[in-house]
C-alpha cells in the first residue's frame, strides 16, 4: 500500500483553501480501480484525506469524520422461508427497490454520538438508516421484519458493515479508515463519501468514485457467457469432452 | 489457493474443488454413474448458488462419462439407434425442463423442488439397491419363488409404431425409449444429474434390454444429453461456470480412471451395497435440510 499522502501535498493545498471560511475535505482512496482477477478474494481499501480548516490549523475541539463506501444499487426480492407441512419453503417475499449491494460506514465515534437520528437518516449514516425503498402497500411491521432480515443476511456476508471507531484522526487534520470488500461484491461504480461532522451538523461532504470491475480472463469469460452464449456453451462441452478423452488416453497405457 | 469464479461471482478454494471432483470421479468410475447427484448437493452445501451448481455439474457429467462410453463403444456395447432415440427424447426433456426451471425460479420454489425431488428419487433408488445388494450378499433372505418377470412390459408392448433395434434384439415402439429419455432430460436440467441410475433400471425392467448393451447405451445417452443440457443452460440460464466446471473436471476425469481400476478389484455386490448407502446418505441429508430450520431464513433474488 502506498503512503497515505505526502505532507508536501497538504502544504500545497492548504493556502488555496484558506480563502474559504468553512472547512473543506480533501479525500483520496488507495485505489481508484479494483480489478477482479482469478485470485481475487476480496480487497482492502484505504480511505484517507485531510481536513483543511480556514485558518490552516485545527480548532481546539476537532470535528469528527464519517466515511461511507457504497456499492451500486440493485432491486432485489427478499424471500422468507416458513415451515409449511413439515417442510421449510419460501412462503413470503418483499421487494426492495434501492438496496445497495455493498455498504460500509466507518466513523471516528459511534454515529449516534455524532448526529441525531434525523440527520443520520437523511445522509443514510449507519446500516439502520439505509433507504431501501421496500415495495409499497406493505404493513410497517412486515416491512421492518424484512428489513431486519436483509440487514442481518448482508451483515453476516460482510456486505453491510459499521465500524464505530474505524476512522482514525491524526492531529485533528489527517484521517484514515480501512474498508474490507469481500469477494462476492458485484461489479460497478462504488462511491466513497466523506462527512465532516461538527456539533451534530454535517459541515462538509466530499465524494470520490471507485470502479470495481472484472478484468482479464475473468472479464472475458463473464462477457462471453453473456454475449456469445452459443459459442460459450460449445466451449464448455468441448472442454469436458477433451478432458474426458485426454484422461482415457493417458490412463489406457497404464491399464 | 483461492480462485475467482467469473459466473458464480465468488472465490472458492481451487484445491477443494479439484478434490471434490476427484472424489466424485472415483465413485463414478467405480459405479458407472455420472456422479451429478453428489456434485450438485455438495456444491450447494459449499455455498455456490444452486443454479450455477446445477449447470456446472452438468458439464462435469459429460466429461466423466466420456471414457466409459468410449470403452463400451469399442466393445460394441452401445445400441446406437436406441441411444439416438433416447437422446432426442432427452433433448426435448431438457428444453421442457428449462421452461419448468424458469417457472419455478420465478415463484421462488426451485430450491424446495430440487431438494424434494432429490429426497424422493434418492430414497427410492437407494432402498431398491440396498435391498438387492443385501439379498445378493445373503444377508437378507430372498423372497421365495419370485415370479419370473415378463421380458416385455405390457404397457410398452401396447404402444403403436414399432421399430427394430438390432443391437438390443428388440422390436418395440420408439415412444418408450423416447419417454425415458424425456424424463432423464428433465432431471438433468432440474437436478444436474445424468440420471444414469434411473435410466439403467428403466432400460432393463421396462424395455427388457439385454444387460450387454444397457450400461454402454445409458452412458452414450447421458453423454449426449448432458452435453445438450450444458448448451440449454448456456443459452437460457447463462449459469455455466467454465472455471468451476474445469476444476471439477480436472479432478473428475482422473478420479474416474482410478475408480474404474478399483472397481475391477472389488466384489460387485459390495460395490452396490456401498453405492446404495451413499445414495441413502445424500437423500437423508437433503431430507434433514428440508425438515430442519435452515441456517438462512431469508434469501435474496436479484430482479
Q: What is the pLDDT of residues B29-58, one digit of tens each?
A: 777 676 777 888 788 878 888 788 888 888
Residue B159 pLDDT greater than 80, yes or no: no
Rg (CA), chain B: 19
A26 exposure class (CB count in 10 Å sphere: 0-12, 13-18, 19+):
buried
d(CA B244, CA B241): 5
Total-model pTM: 0.75
The pLDDT assigned to B154 comes to: 66
Per-residue pLDDT at B6 exceeds 60: yes
- Nearest chain A Cα distance for residue B99, angstroms: 17
For chain B, the first-to-last Cα distance in angstroms comes to: 33
Q: Do A237 and B242 touch (CB under 8 A)?
A: no
Q: Looking at the predicted structure, is the pLDDT value of residue A3 above 70?
A: no
Residue B144 pLDDT > 60: no
Q: Compute the mean pLDDT over every residue in chain A, rounded to the nearest whole number.
A: 84
Predicted confidence at residue A46, as pLDDT, reads 92
Residue B302's SS3 state is: strand
Confidence check: pLDDT of B276 > 80: yes
Chain A residues touching residue B59 (CB < 8 angstroms): 236-237, 239-240
Once rounded to an integer, what is the mean pLDDT over residues B182-193? Answer: 82
Choose from A232-236, B5-9, B105-109 the range with maximum mean pLDDT: A232-236
In the prediction, which pLDDT does B151 show?
Answer: 56
Report the percentage of chain A scoring pLDDT > 90.
31
Per-range mean pLDDT, top range of A65-74, A92-101, A178-187, B254-263: A65-74
Distance CA(B271)–CA(B261), nearest Å, equals 13
**CA A145, CA A154: separation in Å to the nearest integer?**
15
- Does A81 touch chain B if contact means CB atoms closer than 8 Å? yes
pLDDT at residue A1, rounded to an integer: 41
pLDDT of residue B247: 92
Q: Sheet holding A43-52: strands in order across?
A: A24-29, A43-52, A174-181, A168-170
CA distances from B232 to A28, B179, B196 (A): 46, 19, 19
pLDDT band of A9, cuts 50, 70, 90: low
Q: How far is CA B75 from CA A112, A242, A244, B31, in A?
A: 77, 21, 18, 18
Q: Is A133 helix (H, G, I), strand (E, B) or coil?
A: coil
pLDDT of B84 above 60: yes
| 226-255 of A, contacting B, C-beta below 8 A | 226, 229-230, 232-237, 239-241, 243-248, 250-251, 255
Higher-confidence residue of A33 and A19: namely A33
Better pLDDT: A164 or B122: A164
Give the pLDDT score at A255.
Answer: 46
| Predicted local confidence at residue B185, as pLDDT | 86
Give the whole-angstrom CA distance, residue B36 versus residue B63. Answer: 11
| Least confident stretch, A65-74, B149-158, B177-186 | B149-158
Residue A179 has pLDDT above 50, yes or no: yes
Per-chain mean pLDDT for chain B: 80
pLDDT of residue B150: 54
Q: pLDDT value at position B145?
A: 45
Give the Cα separation of A249 and A254 in Å (integer). 10
Q: Is B298 touching A (CB cutoff 8 A)?
A: yes
What pLDDT score does B222 carry? 85
Residue at grid coordinates 468441448: A238
Is A41–B250 a contact, with Cβ atoms under 8 angstroms apart?
no
B254 chain-A contacts, CB cut-off 8 A: 247
Tell me the residues of chain B between 43 and 102 that have a Cβ less than 8 Å away from chain A.
Answer: 59-60, 62-67, 70-71
Of A2-16, B150-164, B166-180, B278-292, the one with minimum mean pLDDT is A2-16
Residue B148 has pLDDT above 60, yes or no: no
CB hemisphere CA count around B20 (13 angstroms) = 25
pLDDT of residue B216: 80
Note whether B4 contacts A237, CB cutoff 8 Å.
no
* Position with higher pLDDT, A233 vs B172: A233
Label residue B246 by pLDDT band (50, 70, 90).
very high
Most B CBs within 10 Å, among A94, A240, A252, to test the B interface: A240
Between B233 and B151, residue with greater pLDDT: B233
pLDDT of A68: 94
CA–CA min distance A183, chain B (Å): 6
Q: Percent of chain A beyond pLDDT 70?
A: 90
Helical (H) or strand (E) element with A195: strand A188-198
In angstroms, the CA A133 to CA B299 distance is 18
Amino acid at each position: 500500500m502506498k503512503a497515505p499522502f505526502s505532507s508536501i501535498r497538504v502544504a500545497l493545498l492548504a493556502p488555496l483553501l484558506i480563502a474559504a471560511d468553512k472547512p473543506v475535505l480533501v479525500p483520496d482512496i488507495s485505489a481508484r480501480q479494483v480489478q477482479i482477477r482469478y485470485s481475487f478474494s476480496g480487497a482492502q481499501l484505504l480511505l484517507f484525506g485531510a481536513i483543511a480548516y480556514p485558518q490552516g490549523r485545527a480548532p481546539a475541539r476537532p470535528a469528527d469524520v464519517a466515511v461511507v463506501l457504497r456499492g451500486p444499487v440493485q432491486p432485489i426480492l427478499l424471500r422468507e422461508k416458513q415451515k409449511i407441512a413439515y417442510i421449510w419453503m419460501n412462503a413470503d417475499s418483499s421487494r426492495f427497490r434501492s438496496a445497495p449491494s455493498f455498504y460500509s460506514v466507518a466513523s471516528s465515534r459511534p454515529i449516534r454520538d455524532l448526529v441525531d437520528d434525523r440527520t443520520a437518516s437523511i445522509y443514510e449514516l449507519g446500516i439502520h438508516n439505509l433507504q431501501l425503498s421496500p415495495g409499497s402497500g406493505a404493513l410497517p411491521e412486515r416491512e421492518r421484519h424484512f428489513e431486519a432480515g436483509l440487514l442481518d443476511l448482508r451483515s453476516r456476508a460482510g456486505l453491510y458493515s459499521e465500524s464505530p471507531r474505524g476512522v482514525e484522526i491524526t492531529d485533528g487534520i489527517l484521517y484514515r479508515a480501512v474498508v474490507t470488500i469481500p469477494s462476492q461484491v458485484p461489479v460497478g461504480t462504488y462511491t466513497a463519501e466523506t462527512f465532516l461532522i461538527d456539533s451534530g451538523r454535517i459541515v462538509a461532504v466530499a465524494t470520490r468514485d471507485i470502479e470495481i470491475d472484472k478484468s482479464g480472463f475473468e472479464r472475458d469469460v463473464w462477457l462471453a457467457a453473456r454475449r456469445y452464449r452459443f459459442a460459450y456453451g460449445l466451449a464448455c462441452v468441448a472442454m469436458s469432452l477433451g478432458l474426458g478423452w485426454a484422461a482415457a488416453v493417458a490412463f489406457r497405457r497404464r491399464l | 489457493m483461492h480462485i475467482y469464479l467469473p459466473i458464480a461471482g465468488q472465490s472458492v478454494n481451487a484445491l477443494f474443488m479439484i478434490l471434490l471432483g476427484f472424489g466424485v470421479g472415483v465413485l463414478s468410475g467405480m459405479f458407472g454413474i455420472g456422479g451429478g447427484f453428489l456434485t450438485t448437493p455438495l456444491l450447494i452445501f459449499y455455498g455456490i448458488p444452486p443454479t450455477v451448481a446445477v449447470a456446472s455439474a452438468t458439464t462435469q457429467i459429460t466429461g466423466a462419462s466420456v471414457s466409459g462410453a468410449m470403452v463400451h463403444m469399442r466393445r460394441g456395447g452401445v445400441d446406437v439407434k436406441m441411444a439416438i432415440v433416447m437422446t432426442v427424447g432427452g433433448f426435448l426433456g431438457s428444453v421442457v425442463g428449462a421452461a419448468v426451471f424458469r417457472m419455478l425460479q420465478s415463484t421462488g420454489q426451485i430450491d424446495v423442488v430440487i431438494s424434494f425431488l432429490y429426497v424422493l428419487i434418492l430414497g427410492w433408488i437407494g432402498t431398491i439397491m440396498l435391498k438387492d445388494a443385501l439379498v445378493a450378499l445373503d444377508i437378507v433372505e430372498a423372497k421365495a419363488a419370485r415370479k419370473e418377470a415378463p421380458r416385455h412390459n405390457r404397457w410398452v408392448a401396447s404402444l403403436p409404431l414399432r421399430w427394430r433395434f438390432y443391437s438390443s434384439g428388440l422390436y418395440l415402439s420408439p415412444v418408450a425409449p423416447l419417454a425415458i429419455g424425456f424424463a432423464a432430460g428433465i432431471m438433468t436440467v432440474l437436478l444436474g444429474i445424468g440420471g444414469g441410475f434411473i435410466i439403467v433400471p428403466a432400460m432393463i425392467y421396462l424395455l427388457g434390454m439385454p444387460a450387454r448393451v444397457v450400461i454402454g447405451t445409458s452412458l452414450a445417452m447421458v453423454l449426449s444429453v448432458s452435453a445438450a443440457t450444458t448448451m440449454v443452460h448456456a443459452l437460457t440460464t447463462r449459469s455455466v461456470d467454465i472455471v468451476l466446471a474445469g476444476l471439477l473436471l480436472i479432478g473428475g476425469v482422473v478420479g474416474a480412471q482410478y475408480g474404474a481400476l478399483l472397481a475391477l478389484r472389488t466384489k460387485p455386490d459390495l460395490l452396490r451395497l456401498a453405492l446404495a448407502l451413499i445414495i441413502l446418505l445424500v437423500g437423508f441429508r437433503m431430507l434433514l435440510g428440508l425438515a430442519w430450520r435452515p441456517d438462512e431464513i431469508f434469501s435474496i433474488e436479484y430482479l
